[in-house]
Amino acid sequence: MAKLVPENHPALHTIAEEITPEEFSDGTVTKILKDLRTAIKTYQVDGYTAVAIAAPQIGVGKRVFLIEDQSPRKKSEESDRLPTIVAINPRFTKVSKKTHVVGEGCLSVPDYYGVVRRHTNVTLEALDEHGKKFTRGAGGLLAQIMQHEYDHLDGILFTDRADEVWHKDNSPTKTKREADAT
């Protein structure tokens, strides 16, 4: 069974490799997506469920991420659910000049939260699970999630970008930038 790797796992700190055409036909993509769906469903910390996961988070150094909202919803709230998106070999074709500071957490750094500056709007180009190219624009929370997951594919954790990070018990901690400066 696929599971989340610890924060110090090399896949979380390395640029992931692109999926090849052969990996679509030999079952690799299907297996990665199955493993991502298994891992995302097992996550629950402090009452929160996962909404997205990238292949490096399960120790697979491939450029794949999945957005699949796991939060329980009533039928009347279904329209609030994030769309399910499989992004293989994604790249941003546009990012807004406008940015905002947003709160983030991460499956791979479960005891920490922080604030990160993200673009308010993005346009993503990627392949779906069948190898078909698509383009998807996003704003707000969906844009933030896409940027967060894309960072995983480049070996970047939100704590590497955060302006401020704190432990879930509310104790402040140094950001990576602050630690590197000392």
Q: CA 157 to CA 101: how far, in whole Å? A: 16
> One of 22, 149, 164, 178 is an active-site residue; which one?
149
Contact by Cβ (8 Å): 126, 88: yes
Query: Any catalytic annotation for residue 77?
Result: no
Instruction: Report which DSSP code applies to 71.
Output: S
Please count the CA atoms within 13 angstroms of the CA of 14 that sit on its side-chain side. 14
DSSP, residue by residue, 9-68: -GGGGSPPBPPPHHHHHTSHHHHHHHHHHHHHHH-EETTEE--EEEGGGGT--BSEEEE-
Residues designated as active site: 149
